[in-house]
Structure 1
Amino acid sequence: MTRPAPKTFTLGEIANQLDARLVGDADLVVRGLATLKDAGSGQVAFLANRAYLKDLPGTAASAVLLHPQHGEACPVSRLELDNPYLGYAALSRLFDPLARRDPAGVHPSASVDPSAVLGKRVEVGPQAVIEAGVTLGDDVVIGPGSVVGADSQIGSGSRLYANVTVYHGVVIGQRAILHSGCVIGADGFGFAHDGSRWQKIAQLGGVVLGDDVEVGSCSSIDRGALGDTLIGDDVKIDSQVQIAHNVQIGDHSALAGCVGIAGSTRVGRHCMLGGGVGLSGHLTICDGVQVTGMSLVTNSIHEPGVYSSGTGAMKNAQWRKNAVRFKQLDELAKRLSRLEKQRLDSPGP
């Protein structure tokens, strides 16, 4: 397969694609994207964060995508949008070389069971394995070394990068992206102790991923013990995330790196979990909850909003003093309660 030639667009074409207001030369040809600081001739830069406003006057980009309020400060052609970051997202897809690849078909070294059903324009890379009863929709890409287990289904337009493992009986929706090293449908952590050793509980459920789900590299989503682990539409999961058996995550939620969710917890729609957040098992997190990084959630959350736990970093000497005082909080609270009771019981002046 040959590498596609770099795609070029005129500023007029880009303005039409983004529905942006163009101030400048509509016939100017651009070939890629870069930051304000690094962009050169033939590239488009963008300004979505005021912290980088200082780089705007000196940019060498051919054009800049920005908010109208910063237009007058722009020294080159500009594309004005009320949400420039969202415009940048759309613009990045225009220049994505993977979006222009021609499908390479099934590689001779791949193993595809005769009972598998492959849609149109499916690509199966070197050393990939497609087991019995698998269904791959149109335009699915299975990267080198990836495995799709028996009776799994992958919807149209989905892509598995190299060395992804999808266990048996997993359902993946349309336009999903699974990055290298992620594992979908491994056994959940289920064991019963008989007094001397652990007895394994067979994990009989599956995993269902909705449409437009993205799973980062080396993340794990365990299959359900009985019912399925359910990931809703448009859920975005970062790298090194652990989702245990029978977890449910609502549509449009996002999980940053190193999040861990224990079994049977339900996360609502439009939730955001910061990096390193931990959720205990059997909790319910309602819609519209944001949990800041490194927080531990041990109780259900029933009202939308921003939640945090833990303390920020400080000098060790100060932390040691605070740690001592933390141990004293219970006794201090009891003393305060006794003093208040004494005051209420004593006769007034």
Structure 2
Amino acid sequence: MKRSEPFSCSLAELADRLGATLVGDGERRVSGLATLSDAGPDDISFLANKAYLKYLTQTRAAAVLIHPAHGGECPVARLELDNPYLAYAELSRLFDPMAAPDAGGVHPSAVVAGDAVLGRDVTIAANAVIESGVELGDGVSVGPGCVIGADSVVGDGSRLHANVTLYHGVVVGKRAILHSGCVIGADGFGFAHDGRGWHKIAQLGGVVLGDDVEVGSCSSIDRGALGDTVIGDDVKIDSQVQIAHNVQVGDHSALAGCVGIAGSTKVGRHCLLGGGVGLSGHLTICDGVQVTGMSLVTNSITEPGVYSSGTGAMSNALWRKNAVRFKQLDDIAKRLSRLERGSTG
């Protein structure tokens, strides 16, 4: 591995790259990216949330990415644009200090099947295993200890960090990022019960990940029982997420940490599932749905919007009182119904 060179750029160059309006010295150079409160004179910062306005006037940054509405409050040079957070996302990739993989090469300790097909500039690190029938596209990077099972396909420019496991017959699109410890294509949770014990159902499908998918560390995406489990293009999956067999997730959706999706549920495009959300099996979630953290969804959702379940944290004493009242709701509803019938009789 080799470490990429430190990035440095003038404000004029950054403004041109981002399509921003520069107010200040375009020749000033920056070499880092930091928060408003932590930034120094060689850093660029950003204001994307009004809650951080209180730090703006005291910032020591060389310049700030900022919406024009707040430009007049900025004491240093500024790059004005409509979406400072999106600009921050782009700059974060420019300033990323992570080591870049060597351009091509197979480590001597890697095990690569003789019939595996490797594209141009493929990197395979130490102790990786590439099984029979695997196809790796151009520029694919396979980290140390990864296992890519038989007949799997990994698209151009995708990166597997250390110890990623792809079972057999998994298809990964272009420019995917799979973080350490994630497992793609393990058996789905399929068993039949005969009254005494469990009988395993062979999982005959596969997993298909679209282009630009990112899967967080220690997340699991199970293979389909018959058809494939399908993750659409540009889907972002956080760490410790469980996606069961034959689930479908539509393009541009995002799943935060510890989400669990039971088998055969279909999640639409542009959906957002907060941390700890659980979706029961065989549901359909339409496009444009946001489910807030720790919610449990047991019925299909057919209208876009924001959905929640459960209650927020409260003192234990208050929770105990409310739990008692919850048990009384059915009796209260029946009494109210009798009162209403009596008032209209």
Which TM-score band (shorter chain)? over 0.9
**Runs of 4 or more consecutive aligned structure 1 residues displaced over 3 Å after TM superposition:** 97-102
* Cα deviation 1:125-184 (Å, max 9, x = unaligned): 111111111111111111111111110001111111111111100001011111111100
Are 2:50 and 1:73 aligned?
no
Aligned length: 345
The alpha-carbon deviation at position 336 of structure 1 amounts to 1.4
Q: Which residue identity lines up with residue 43 of structure 2 in the other structure? A: Q
Are 2:272 and 1:269 aligned?
no
Note if contact 2:3-2:100 (Cα within 8 Å) is conserved in structure 1.
no
Residue of structure 2 equivalent to 1:116 = 116
Any residues of structure 2 matched to 1:219-258 within 5 Å, and which?
A: 219-258=219-258
Residue of structure 1 equivalent to 2:329 = 329
Note if contact 1:191-1:198 (Cα within 8 Å) is conserved in structure 2.
yes
Distance 2:307 2:59 in 1: 39
Distance 2:336 2:2 in 1: 76
Distance 1:238 1:101 in 2: 23
Residue of structure 1 equivalent to 2:86 = 86
* Cα deviation 1:195-228 (Å, max 9, x = unaligned): 2111100000000000111111110000000000
The alpha-carbon deviation at position 342 of structure 1 amounts to 2.5
Residue of structure 2 equivalent to 1:300 = 300
Residue of structure 1 equivalent to 2:37 = 37
Residue of structure 1 equivalent to 2:127 = 127
Distance 2:94 2:23 in 1: 20
Secondary structure of 1:240 counterpart: coil
Distance 1:73 1:33 in 2: 20
Query: Structure 1: which 5+ residue stretches go unaligned?
Result: none
The alpha-carbon deviation at position 72 of structure 1 amounts to 1.8
* Cα deviation 1:289-316 (Å, max 9, x = unaligned): 1111100000011111111101111111
Distance 2:100 2:327 in 1: 61
Distance 1:88 1:99 in 2: 20
The alpha-carbon deviation at position 102 of structure 1 amounts to 3.7
How large is the RMSD of aligned CA atoms in angstroms? Answer: 1.2
Residue of structure 2 equivalent to 1:159 = 159
Residue of structure 2 equivalent to 1:49 = 49
Larger CA deviation: 244-253 vs 64-73: 64-73
Distance 1:101 1:17 in 2: 25
Note if contact 1:4-1:101 (Cα within 8 Å) is conserved in structure 2.
no
Distance 1:174 1:98 in 2: 21
Distance 2:225 2:195 in 1: 22
Distance 2:3 2:343 in 1: 82
Note if contact 1:249-1:269 (Cα within 8 Å) is conserved in structure 2.
yes
Secondary structure of 2:70 counterpart: helix
Q: Which residue identity lines up with residue 286 of structure 1 in the other structure? A: C
Q: Which residue identity lines up with residue 326 of structure 1 in the other structure? A: F
Distance 2:74 2:248 in 1: 46
Residue of structure 1 equivalent to 2:281 = 281
Distance 1:306 1:16 in 2: 37
* Cα deviation 1:260-308 (Å, max 9, x = unaligned): 0000000011111111000000001111111111000000111111111
Residue of structure 2 equivalent to 1:187 = 187
Distance 2:84 2:285 in 1: 31
Q: Which residue identity lines up with residue 323 of structure 1 in the other structure? A: A
Q: Which residue identity lines up with residue 109 of structure 1 in the other structure? A: S
* Cα deviation 1:46-75 (Å, max 9, x = unaligned): 111111111111111111111112212222
Query: Structure 2: which 5+ residue stretches go unaligned?
Result: none
Distance 1:328 1:178 in 2: 49
Residue of structure 1 equivalent to 2:309 = 309
Note if contact 1:245-1:263 (Cα within 8 Å) is conserved in structure 2.
yes
Secondary structure of 2:3 counterpart: coil
